[in-house]
Amino acid sequence: MVLTHFHADHAGGAADLAHRDGVTVVAHRLEAPVIRGEATGPAPDPAGAPRWERDLYDEVPHPPPAAPAPVHREVADGDELDIAGGAVVVAVPGHTDGSIALHLPGPGVLFTGDAAAGAHGGVIPGVFHADRARAAQSFRRLAGLEVETVCFGHGDPLLGGAGVALRRAAAALD
Ligand SMILES: [Zn+2]
């Protein structure tokens, strides 16, 4: 089980599932202490966010922190995981300090966590980031990957031409 970051809507099931046979919980080394309940992660910083994003933050429910869960394997940028034919950890700090994406170079698939999001049939650089400037840098990095398919933490996946959509969205940040 790969946790892209500590937020309860992503890591909330880990405490229940982590103790089952054969489950290995994987997270970035900066995120692991938060997932274990040993540290508090950064809150989203609304500074610089557009009005629609701040309104959205006020509208959506914010679940309490996830129950503490073990992290069996701490990873860092560039680490390879022996899943789905080989997955590469891409550190994408900004949404949280230890956010990660997973890149499957073989089939050209990217799992972004909340470093990007699907919206309006395309892709946006995500919302509710702890550090918007770092999140923008991370988004540009994702846009440099060779991918065809992108799966987001929120929003519909892009099932073709995803790299082009990512690069277009990244260019719009400049
Ligand atoms: Zn999140």
Read off the CATH number of the domain in which 145 is found. 3.60.15.10
Does a structural domain hold residue 3?
no
How far, in Å, from the CA of 108 to the mean position of ligand 1? 23
Inside any domain, residue 64: yes
* Residue 6 Cα to ligand 1 middle (Å): 7
CA 127 / ligand 1 centre spacing (Å):
8
Q: What is the span of the domain harbouring residue 72?
A: 8-171
Detail the DSSP E strand segments found in the chain: 26-28, 73-75, 80-81, 87-91, 100-104, 109-111, 117-119, 122-124, 149-151
117 touches 126 (CB < 8 A): yes
Å from CA of 122 to ligand 1 middle:
19
Whether 1 maps to a domain, the answer reads no
Reported as a single tens digit per residue, the pLDDT across 56-107 is: 999 999 889 999 999 999 999 999 999 989 999 999 999 999 999 999 999 9
Q: How far is the CA of 153 from the centre of ligand 1 (A)?
A: 8
Q: How far apart are CA 44 and CA 47, in angstroms?
A: 9
pLDDT at residue number 81: 98
pTM: 0.95
pLDDT at 106: 95
